Structure 1
Amino acid sequence: MDSEGRKVVVCDNGTGFVKCGFAGSNFPEHIFPALVGRPIIRSTTKVGNIEIKVILFVETTTLHNVENI
């Protein structure tokens, strides 16, 4: 609690999950995936009779290490 007796909310925006709760608690009240939304279908390609869809979950990204691919 702060000096006026109000509870302080804490949100941890992690890579995989967002965790929210109150300051001073041992564990977060709520945990949910950090990836929210629907995939964006960028393009389709046909290989024979099979349609291949390229799906992206982010608009842009940065590659830091080629070995992680």
Structure 2
Amino acid sequence: MNFDFISNTDSKASISDIPTFQVQQIWQQLDDERVDVSHLIDRTYGYHSERELRWHLADRFSRPVRSLSLSRM
């Protein structure tokens, strides 16, 4: 499964906090079509890495982590 996403930095994080990002919008690539799947995740969650997002998507779609790829737009 291939995903493209747009993120934004969590502006509420203090200097001592670990930087996080939120997914603004995410699409799943299906053959020649991109499907918006933003409604399937919590877009207010502060991800610490793309790896964490991949694990979250794998859990959400009941797929092995290795079967997912992410591209930040």
Asked if Structure 1 and Structure 2 have the same fold, meaning a TM-score greater than 0.5 normalized by the shorter chain, the answer is no
TM-score w.r.t. the length of structure 1 is 0.24
TM-score w.r.t. the length of structure 2 is 0.23
Higher helix share: 2
